Amino acid sequence: MRIMKAYQVTIVMDDEKTRKREIEGLMEAMNAYGLAEGYILTMEEKEELEIDGKQVHVLPTWEWMLREKGNKKSDPNITLMLSYLWAIV
């Protein structure tokens, strides 16, 4: 099995400590699996970052889910898992 995407999930990234932790964790996974882009899913924040030549998409979870719904190659298990995660938050 090949890892195709990397995700971090957090409610907010407005605290500098949280922001650093989420970005570093995502970059570690992206580097380990040779990925050029990754996602940080939040409640409301949206931002595009380029770090060390790699793309980091910070998106509200609802927006990411709408994008994934239209993506024919999307893994339905990821969408289901995130739906459950946000339902309990």
pLDDT for residue 65: 82
Q: Residues 68, 88, 44, CA angle at the centre, nearest 5°?
A: 55
CA atoms within 13 A on the CB side of 24: 6
**Full-prediction pTM beyond 0.95?**
no
pLDDT for residue 67: 78
User: How far from chain centre, in Å, is Cα 85?
Assistant: 14
pLDDT for residue 3: 85
- The SS3 assignment for 43 reads coil
pLDDT for residue 12: 93
Reading the chain (89 residues) residue by residue, the pLDDT tens digits are 788 889 999 999 999 999 999 999 999 999 999 999 999 999 999 999 999 999 999 999 888 888 776 665 655 555 555 555 555 44
CA distances from 65 to 17, 23, 53, 54 (A): 26, 20, 25, 22
